[in-house]
Amino acid sequence: MSPKPIQTDQKLLEHVVGRALSGEGAHVASAEVFSGLDAQGAGERPAGLPHSLFQLLKHIVFWQDWAVKWCNGEKPRVPKHASGSWPKGTAPANDADWADCVHQFQNGLKELERRSRNGNLAAKNGKQSRLEMLHAIASHNSYHLGEAVVVRQILGRWPPPAGGLTW
């Protein structure tokens, strides 16, 4: 069966942004990268690497939440330094804390995907359009999700239960 034709530029942009956010066609599903881990595994930081999986996920969640506020027309504060968007600790407090963090990530991802389909992608908030912001957050996520995959591989905790790309 051939894919559905895309009728408008708006629909094409919505499709492309949605795929970028979900990882479809590029890498394992974004929403699955952190699945199948417990708090202990999420808090491990391999020697020589700057971040644990927990830290990577909290950083991603920070910027996803920031982007959702931005899409709402707000002007969220940008931290003065990069460290303002990274958690201090390397590990979640417990399994429930970790599960909550993964849930926040997955919900934020769904919200951003929804935003890519609802609303004018050319609409601006300040100097950037909604399309530019969604592209930036999809690129940011993809960058750090790739780091998370490498950390999981080093820890021997890859692929996630849903599977991974292993060619």
Q: What is the pLDDT of residues 10-25, one digit of tens each?
A: 888 888 888 888 888 7
Indicate whether 144 belongs to any domain. yes
Residue-level pLDDT at 6: 44
CATH code of the domain in which 143 resides: 1.20.120
Indicate whether 114 belongs to any domain. yes
Indicate whether 93 belongs to any domain. yes
Indicate whether 132 belongs to any domain. yes
Q: What is the pLDDT of residues 52-84, one digit of tens each?
A: 999 999 999 999 999 999 999 999 999 999 999
Residue-level pLDDT at 8: 63
Question: Exposure pattern of 11-28 as b/e (b: 16+ CB <10 Å)?
Answer: eebbbbbbebbbbeeeeb
Which of 60, 54, 58, 20 shows the shortest CA–CA distance to 38? 54
Indicate whether 105 belongs to any domain. yes
Indicate whether 36 belongs to any domain. no
Q: What is the pLDDT of residues 102-158, one digit of tens each?
A: 999 999 999 999 988 888 899 999 999 999 999 999 999 999 999 999 999 999 999
- In DSSP notation, 76-132 reads PPPPSSGGGGS-SSSS-SSHHHHHHHHHHHHHHHHHHHHHHHSS-TT-EETTEEHHH
Residue 126 structural domain: 9-22+44-76+85-155
The domain total for the chain is 1
